[in-house]
Amino acid sequence: MTSMTIVDPSVKPGLTAFQASAEDQAEVHELILKTARWLHSKGSTQWGKLLKGEDDHNLGGAIARGEVVIFRTSDDHRLAGAVILQQQPSAWDCKLWGLDETNSEGGTSVYLHRLVVDRDNTGKGLGHELMQWIEQGIRFAGKDRIRLDCIAGNDKLSGFYKQCGYTYIGETNGYNTFEKMLIKS
Chain-wide mean pLDDT for the chain?
A: 90
Burial class (CB in 10 A: 0-12, 13-18, 19+), 151: middle
Report the length, in residues, of the chain.
Answer: 185
Local structure of 68: helix, strand or coil:
strand
Asked whether residue 185 carries a pLDDT value surpassing 60, the answer given is: no
Lowest-confidence segment of 37-41, 113-117, 118-122, 141-145 by average pLDDT: 118-122
The pLDDT confidence band at residue 84, using thresholds 50, 70 and 90, is very high
- Nearest-CA neighbor of 70 among 12, 21, 113? 21
pLDDT in tens, 116-129: 999 887 778 899 99
The pLDDT confidence band at residue 104, using thresholds 50, 70 and 90, is low
In the chain, helix, strand, coil percent, each to 5? Answer: 35, 30, 35
The residue-averaged pLDDT of 119-148 equals: 90
Write the CB contacts of 113 (distance below 8 Å, at least 6 apart in sequence): 57, 83, 84, 85, 86, 148
Question: What pLDDT is attached to residue 4?
Answer: 86
- For the chain, the C-alpha Rg in angstroms (whole number) is 16
Task: Name beta bridge partners: 179.
Answer: 147, 167
User: Is the distance from CB of 19 to CB of 6 less than 8 angstroms?
Assistant: yes
Strands (E), 42-182: 68-73, 79-86, 109-117, 138-140, 145-151, 167-172, 175-181
Q: What are phi and psi of 161, to 5 degrees?
A: -65, -40
The model's pTM is: 0.92
